[in-house]
Amino acid sequence: MSNIIESFGGFIERNAAKHPSLCRSLLLTGFQAYGLKLRLSPNQDLPKARQFSAQYINRTVTKMLAHPERAALVSVFMPCELLYAMDLVPMCAELYSCFINGAYAEHAFVEAAENMGIPETYCSYHKILLGSAYAKILPPPKMIVNTSLVCDANNLTFRELAEFYQVPQFYVDVPREQSENSVHYVADELRELSGFLESACSRKMDEDRLKACLADSKKTIEDLQACHLEKRDHYLCSDVTSELYEIYIVHNGLGSKEALHYARQLLSDLKAAGPARGIRLLWLHTVPNWQRPIRDVMDYSEKCQIVAIDMNLESLVDIDPEMPYESMARRLVYSRWNGGEQRVQAAVEAAETLDVDGVVCFCHWGCKQTMGLSQVFKERLEQAGYPTLILNGDGCDSHNASDGQVQTRLNAFIEMLEAQHG
């Protein structure tokens, strides 16, 4: 199967510049065909929740490519309940780039972005997104909605794409100060976003429907909080791609019925799972799910497993559905990623809660915040008793990473943990 996909990706890379319409159609058809495979023949090695997440994520990507006129391009930390209330599909920038990587076609779009002056050191998720737009592969969305939270590239990429596509953009500025004043400030921005969506969609916001979306978010978060307590004592078979999919579900997916279904099924799967076993890792930042040395070690393994990614823990804050704007604002302002010290402390707390054996801090190419914090992570986590590996690489550009170096360093780290584990 991988040889077929690699040949497919090679065709896209060779022809994207000359035949963008054809390549766009082929990518959509390829993703739809894979979605059919996921529905008719799901991966039986995975529990039901993970099977469902693969199908849900595939449907999301194919929807946004097939019907861009109903899609809003968003940053990964953007609360999307307002979009669901207006029947818009959140088109996550990073998720799109991961799918292009999964089709082995990312290099053509990295080159397209760099040929337009985007620096080589720029985040590869955003380079693939920009290159896809410049190559006329990524269709223009109805609008762009993004926050300032976490990623420096957010403040550049989405503004550039709004100008390139000539589509409206709404920008949510999140203050670094974590206070109720900041919550009120962001809540007012989100009320302005509601008016922006009404204007763009030529319809009124249904406040009752919005509150219903927040009620679903509340239930989803409560179930996910329960899941992380269950993870301490249980082993549930997984793969690194499933862990990556969960990033979308617990951010842009909140407010959807699909995210709620996933959380409930995951909790059921965990409660039925066997006792914890093997080496248990907390992973910091995104995961290069495409990279063979990581997949060989962790996919479906009882010997070594990523128990959680810190990105999947930071958004699990309490919600009051009767105050939807304040609830969404609080999720942004009090995100554990809204500030370096909060993120480091959250990693220590997660390691303790999940009872992990070690931590991997993945420094994704172009992410200055994680690179800058990496030594602080290592120092604080090891002071707390959790051996920590700093692993450099690229989350979605396979031409910008070394399999040999990753394999050597990761295997040596796991061998050390196994020796300590006894």
- Express each pLDDT in 256-315 by its tens digit: 999 999 999 999 999 999 999 999 999 999 999 999 999 999 999 999 999 999 999 987
Chain segment 21-42, per-residue pLDDT in tens:
999 999 999 999 999 999 999 9
Terminal C-alpha separation, the chain: 38
Question: Which pLDDT band, with edges at 50, 70 and 90, does 396 fall under?
Answer: very high
Mean per-residue pLDDT over the chain, rounded: 94
pLDDT the model gives residue 1: 58
Average pLDDT in the 97-124 region?
95
Average pLDDT in the 378-400 region?
94
Tokens of 89: 């599909």
pLDDT at 56 over 90: yes
Tell me the β-bridge partners of 391. Answer: 362
pLDDT at 422 over 80: no
Contact predicate 396/98, CB 8 Å: yes
The more confident residue out of 60 and 314 is 60
pLDDT at 371 over 80: no
Average pLDDT in the 206-216 region?
98
Average pLDDT in the 127-146 region?
97
Contact predicate 284/313, CB 8 Å: no
Task: Report the distance separating Cα 405 and Cα 278, nearest Å.
Answer: 23
Contacts of residue 219, defined as CB under 8 A and 6 or more positions apart, other chains included, come to 260, 263
Chain segment 307-359, per-residue pLDDT in tens:
999 999 987 888 999 999 999 999 999 998 898 889 999 999 999 999 999 99
Which range of residues forms the domain containing residue 321?
A: 2-421
Question: Which pLDDT band, with edges at 50, 70 and 90, does 4 fall under?
Answer: confident
- Helices 48-66 and 240-249 meet at what angle, rounded to 10? 60
* Nearest partner of 202 among 86, 29, 112, judged by Cα: 86
Question: Which pLDDT band, with edges at 50, 70 and 90, does 140 fall under?
Answer: very high
What's the number of domains the chain is made of? 1
* Nearest partner of 131 among 7, 22, 28, 13, judged by Cα: 13
Task: Report the distance separating Cα 165 and Cα 215, nearest Å.
Answer: 34
Task: Report the distance separating Cα 165 and Cα 138, nearest Å.
Answer: 10
pLDDT at 2 over 70: no
- For the beta carbon of residue 107, count every other beta carbon within 10 angstroms: 20
